[in-house]
Structure 1
Amino acid sequence: MSVVIVLGAEGFLGRHLVHHVAADPSGPHRVVGVDRHARGGGGSYAVDLRDDAAVGHLLRTERPDVVVNLAGVVEGTDDELSEINVELPGRLMRMMASWPETRDARLLLLGSAAEYGECDVAQDECAPLRPASAYGRSKLRQYERFRAVADAGGQWVALARPFNIVGPGMPRHLALASFAEQIAAAGGNERIRTGNLSAVRDFLDVEDVVTALWHVVRRGRSGEVYNVSSGVGHSMRALVEMLVQLSGRELTIDENTSASAGVPVSVGSSEKLRRETGWAPQIPIATSLRRLLGQG
């Protein structure tokens, strides 16, 4: 039985990955969920990931075959972003490489499409990295540390770069989750308020994303970066209109066109992931939005 540690197991992506790996027919796998908000017991640990001694004790006790680091923060001060998005994965790579209990384990880090910044065409892994946000810059710094470790050799480590993720359990501060919540709460002939909806984004269902991450762990190559994306861009306006249509309600979209839309276009190519691991997305965007509304 393999031991799989998921750091950030109580987050949106973490909960889905824990369930996916536990149900994987290639197992059996013993999944160890780690999060500072974990309740403890039943294969989960409440650990402050900034505490090196606690993380080290966990790793040396559990002797994992796989570690997936999904811990991260999207907003905060530069120091907060750096501590979790840069320093934590850096320390994790050093710790795992230095101990015989973890030296042969596979480590998957989570990057972000925000590392690319603006693009006009679907970005592949060779595209220039020009992040436009503090979050994206922190993920770029993680990539630089990953690259140094990977180039040195001696440790299995890969990095996945998901684009936008949609599905049940999305945090409410994310745009599509906020829109779905407004739509669910609205009666007939009401308005839902949005920011600027001109941005084009590449969305994947959360179940397709966790399947992709597990494909990288099982079939990917050490030292490689893999985009996790659909290759299809949708305007945020089109997605909100689809949510309204799926709800069956007569609602008016009140868009604040003067607000910033962020990076105008962010679409990724996952050709490398498909070619090397056999992964392919399975869930249409309409199905994802229907599930987000709680309809399936």
Structure 2
Amino acid sequence: MLPELNDLNSFRQALSGAPGPDDDAAQGAAERNGQLTKPPGALGRLEDLAIWYAGWRQDARPQITAPQVIVFAGNHGVTAQGVSAFPPEVTVQMVANFEHGGAAINQLAKAAGATMDVHALNLDVPTTDFTTGPALSEDELLQALQTGWSSVNPNADLLVVGEMGIGNTTPAAAIACALFGGEASDWTGRGTGVDDAGLANKTRVVAEGVSLHAGTGDGLEILRRLGGREIAAMAGAIAAARALRIPVILDGFICSAAAACLAETVKGALDHTVAGHQSAEGAHGAVLAKLGKEPLLNLGLRLGEGSGGALAINILKSAVACHSGMATFAEAGVSDG
């Protein structure tokens, strides 16, 4: 049962009080892994993934049968400064495409056997341009966090969150810069494909936002000042999954920026997550390094939508299937040396 989020401090408290993995289940999974009909370590990272998953699911021999993909959509006032190659109207159009099953994420979720939900957050009310003030009020941030928090199916056993929001690599870059330091140019990429002049403009916008808001509070406050509704909703869903002991596969740059806000608010807040992939957005690898996450895939994706995370569902499913489905040496009547 998830606690209610009545204000931002209750969200912080829920995040700091969320449970950790079950050590007995993880130990049982490790012991089983050592008895399976294979040489020690022969399945590489798949073995570690299965043990990690078992601990969070409190089951030494788990299964993955109910993965959930959630896509959140929001619009950003900062797009008025020309930071994207596409107009904000595309956000609404893509939400309709998600709802009709026509996007890449629909196909990837289906291929992974995942349910998919879409939540559009006040698309007719863009956030405030963060170069002029905080992107969201405290109430707006809380509402977005609540949307994510309540969107997670308690019966899911794996979660991927994705996003749609024209211009949202700009707030993601600003969040990363504000949280991790460095220059705006270190974190700002071409997003949907802006040219050199567009990249220079986008970098200027990120620098102005970070100059105005960096150092003003914890990760949650940086999320409020520089983020967006869909970014906050992803953070809310990732936090809810932690409270429910549902493992999460992180998607790309924007999802990782949302997750970083949690990590910079409560230490260890992302222990229930793995990185699904490293995207082609230049700074994503640097964000993953700051989070201590090694990506499962690196296929040059830069779509968003949760696509890279959804693609990695089958990697984790395969890890768990081998762990739980393989015979032990004793069960198979095979000598273990």
TM-score when normalising by structure 2: 0.28
TM-score (norm 1): 0.31
**If each structure's helix is expressed as a fraction of its own residues, which one has the higher value?**
2
Q: Which has the higher contact order (CA 8 A, sep 6+)?
A: 2
